[in-house]
Chains A and B, each alone.
Chain A
Amino acid sequence: MVQITSALPIAKMIGSNRTVLGHGIVHVAGDPNLSPEEEKNLRRKLVKQAMAALESEEKE
């Protein structure tokens, strides 16, 4: 499991092993200031980071 969250200190405190920094507490996988297309690209980037973390043996 990989956790995408903007509250990384909490995730680390409870022992989450694979984490990706989200894009804000209130829109962890989005950004309302971007155009829909840019926003989807941002989301793809986050999800790809999450996929890479799932394939990695390194704690992050």
Chain B
Amino acid sequence: MRIVHYINQFFAGVGGEEAAGAPLEEKEGAVGPGRLLEELMGGDAQVVSTLVCGDNHAVENQDAVVAAVVEKVRAAKADLFVAGPCFEAGRYGMISGAACVAVEAELGIPAMTGMHVENPGVDLYREGLYIVDSGKSAAEMKGVMGKIVAIAQKRLKGEPIGKPGEAGYLARGLILDAFVEKKAGHRLVDMLMAKVAGEPFETEMPVSSFQATPMPAAIKDISKSKVMIITDGGLVPRGNPDKIVGMAATTWGTYSIEGRDHLKGKDYEISHGGYDQRFVEQDPDRLVPLDALRELEREGAIGELHNEFISTSGLANPLSNTRRMGKEMVEKVRAEGVNAVILTST
């Protein structure tokens, strides 16, 4: 059993913040918490290589560092990759999450990490990874590493991992089928009775929480701005040339509106489940308000309407996916010199 372990400069004993700019370095064998990892794995498990990188260097050069980590894990012929645990260290969590996702995707071996629930790496990567709930304190290293090892061993043997609370990892938002004794109504009343009595109960549908997005500054003068329309209502040219799927879409498209004053139903279709599409298919301006915006452009109320709109289907989509698409759209919006976006959502 060959393990590669990624740790930051602090846990490697290289130094604190003053050493956070240290580039990626490979050390033979286990270093720091890697010794505990090796011991807890037992048997013939061996940390063959420890990858150490300063947290600042890692997040400032994330793509290059992640690519280098994947190559080193590949070269080491590892069966398992472990990063951290990272506790509250945000930069450490972000690079560990990114490295684990890349290792699993490219090498097909299990990758494990551990973080405090408020580590920013959790929000970014929890859906794709088993992230052990580490709490805040590095003094809990032994218990945390024990949970990482227990889940890693189950994964290596192909055994079921169990529920997040039981196995000690942060909920991934997966929905799994299970047989239950009581019908929903009974379970609901049981929960309500427990709540009223002040007894503990476990919700079956935890509400997602979202971090606040800082509000961008207002536009000073929209009559001098370049405006673009984006929709998540799934409007695509007839034939759906980019094959955008109508549920949990992973892609988006850019479609020209150059020289058009309004959109005609015969030219478009909707790829989006869950809503009655007839009204928009009759007149796509009801979703992408081109006719009104063209008039306002002519009247000088807006500076310029960008000659393409962006479209995808915003239905039943995991956050990790929509975040990625959002980032890609932002790059496009920037590249086109657009100052303002009107997003229409169904």
Give the B-binding residues of A (Cβ under 8 A).
1-7, 11, 13-18, 22, 25-30, 32, 39-40, 43-44, 46-48, 50-51, 54-57, 59
Chain B residues whose C-beta falls within 8 Å of the C-beta of A56 in the assembled complex: 218
Give the A-binding residues of B (Cβ under 8 A).
210-213, 215-222, 225, 233, 275-280, 282-283, 285-289, 291-293, 295-296, 301-302, 340-346
Known: A47-B289, A55-B220. A29 touches B344 (CB 8 A): yes
Closest to A11 in B: B345
Chain A residues whose C-beta falls within 8 Å of the C-beta of B213 in the assembled complex: 15-17
Contacts beyond the supplied A40-B291, A44-B292: 12 A-B pairs with Cβ under 8 Å: A2-B343, A17-B216, A22-B344, A26-B279, A28-B286, A28-B344, A28-B345, A30-B287, A32-B279, A46-B292, A47-B293, A54-B218
Chain B residues whose C-beta falls within 8 Å of the C-beta of A28 in the assembled complex: 233, 286-287, 344-346
B279 close to A30 (CB less than 8 A): yes
Determine how close the nearest CB of chain B comes to the CB of A32; give it in whole angstroms: 5
User: Which of B221, B288, B344 lies at the interface centre, i.e. has the most chain A CB atoms within 10 A of its CB?
Assistant: B344
B218 close to A59 (CB less than 8 A): no
Known: A15-B212, A55-B219. A32 touches B346 (CB 8 A): no
Chain B residues whose C-beta falls within 8 Å of the C-beta of A43 in the assembled complex: 285-286, 289, 291-292
A57 close to B292 (CB less than 8 A): no
Contact of A29 among B211, B286, B302 (CB under 8 A): B286
User: Which of A2, A44, A47, A56 lies at the interface centre, i.e. has the most chain B CB atoms within 10 A of its CB?
Assistant: A47
User: Which of B225, B293, B295, B346 lies at the interface centre, i.e. has the most chain A CB atoms within 10 A of its CB?
Assistant: B346
- In the complex, 23 of the A-B residue pairs with CB atoms within 8 angstroms, ordered by the A residue number, are A1-B216, A1-B341, A1-B342, A1-B343, A4-B345, A18-B215, A27-B287, A28-B346, A29-B289, A30-B283, A30-B287, A39-B283, A40-B292, A43-B285, A47-B342, A50-B342, A54-B225, A54-B342, A55-B218, A55-B220, A56-B218, A57-B217, A59-B215
Determine how close the nearest CB of chain A comes to the CB of B120; give it in whole angstroms: 15
Q: Which 5 A-B pairs have the closest CB atoms?
A: A30-B286, A5-B345, A17-B215, A43-B292, A27-B279
Kindly state the separation between the CA atoms of A53 and B280 in the bound complex, as whole angstroms.
25
Closest to A20 in B: B342
Chain B residues whose C-beta falls within 8 Å of the C-beta of A17 in the assembled complex: 213, 215-216
Determine how close the nearest CB of chain B comes to the CB of A36; give it in whole angstroms: 8
Kindly state the separation between the CA atoms of A14 and B279 in the bound complex, as whole angstroms.
27
Closest to A31 in B: B286
Chain A residues whose C-beta falls within 8 Å of the C-beta of B210 in the assembled complex: 13-15
Kindly state the separation between the CA atoms of A26 and B241 in the bound complex, as whole angstroms.
23
A3 close to B343 (CB less than 8 A): yes
Closest to A45 in B: B292
A54 close to B217 (CB less than 8 A): no
A54 close to B275 (CB less than 8 A): no
A2 close to B341 (CB less than 8 A): yes
Determine how close the nearest CB of chain A comes to the CB of B346; give it in whole angstroms: 6
Known: A1-B343, A3-B343, A5-B344. A29 touches B287 (CB 8 A): yes
B296 close to A4 (CB less than 8 A): no
